[in-house]
Amino acid sequence: MKTDLMKERRIAGLVKQLLAELGEDPERDGLLKTPERVAKSLLFLTKGYSQTPRRVLNQAVFDAGANHMIVLRNIEVYSLCEHHLLPFYGTCAVGYIAQRKVLGVSKIARVVDCFARRLQIQERLTEQVAAAIQETAKAEGVGVVFRCRHLCMMMRGVEKQNSEMITSAMLGSFREDEKVRQEFLSLVR
């Protein structure tokens, strides 16, 4: 098993090779420490691979006798597009109907980060967060909405600066009951 330091050194070596392939001099003053910085950055931005929702929640599921909708919105999200390794960023809203168990509020945001800190597509990210909340909270229903801007669309390709992608996943009563779904969507607008 590779240690984090071994991974960091190996990635830094690859970044140095990449810089040379791009036509840069990795030994010039401004780039001397770049391979190490990029390696540390990539390891941070993909730390979700070493996390699971179960570990992230770490016993933060509480008996509450609750049976109502709980919504956390405007959760900042930063991820990397798996197709171009460019960032996408935005916000997420998570809602669920508790069945006697509630999640620690900060832990909901940590579950979002657990999946966002991986190479991703927004569609899969949305589904993963919804499934993890459903499974962990044993919720009657779950709704998740992501609104993100993708630099792979803004900086390259079609170069559409004002585009925003919206994805949603509705599970249980959020999918089956129109009133529940509409209540959630009105709360997250």
What's 183's domain CATH number?
Answer: 3.30.1130.10
Q: Indicate the range of 3-7, 20-24, 47-51, 94-98 predicted with least confidence.
A: 3-7
Whole-number Å distance between alpha carbons of 59 and 3: 27
Same domain, 19 and 108: no
- Region 131-138 average pLDDT: 92
Q: Identify the band that residue 88 occupies on the pLDDT scale cut at 50, 70 and 90.
A: very high
68 in any annotated domain: yes
182 in any annotated domain: yes
Tell me the percentage of the chain whose pLDDT exceeds 70: 98
Look over the chain and give the mean of its residue pLDDT values, rounded to a whole number: 94
22 Cβ partners below 8 Å, 6+ apart?
none
53 in any annotated domain: no
Number of domains in the chain: 2
Same domain, 172 and 79: yes
Same domain, 75 and 109: yes
- Region 100-105 average pLDDT: 87
pLDDT at 1: 53
Phi, psi of 106, rounded to the nearest 5 degrees: -70, -25
Same domain, 13 and 100: no
Q: What is the CATH number of the domain that holds 17?
A: 1.10.286.10
177 in any annotated domain: yes
54 in any annotated domain: no
pLDDT at 54: 85
Same domain, 25 and 64: no
Helix H or strand E encompassing 138: none
23 in any annotated domain: yes
Same domain, 41 and 90: no
67 in any annotated domain: yes
Q: Identify the band that residue 112 occupies on the pLDDT scale cut at 50, 70 and 90.
A: very high
End-to-end CA distance of the chain: 45
Same domain, 41 and 67: no
Same domain, 87 and 175: yes
Same domain, 24 and 68: no
Same domain, 156 and 179: yes
Top pLDDT among 64 and 114 is at: 114
Same domain, 41 and 117: no
132 in any annotated domain: yes
Same domain, 71 and 119: yes
CB atoms within 10 A of CB 100: 12
Helix H or strand E encompassing 125: helix 122-137
Range(s) of the domain holding residue 172: 60-188
Q: Identify the band that residue 86 occupies on the pLDDT scale cut at 50, 70 and 90.
A: very high
**pLDDT digit string, tens, across residues 24-53:** 999 999 999 999 999 999 999 999 999 998
pLDDT at 35: 98
Asked whether residue 104 carries a pLDDT value surpassing 80, the answer given is yes
Q: Identify the band that residue 173 occupies on the pLDDT scale cut at 50, 70 and 90.
A: very high
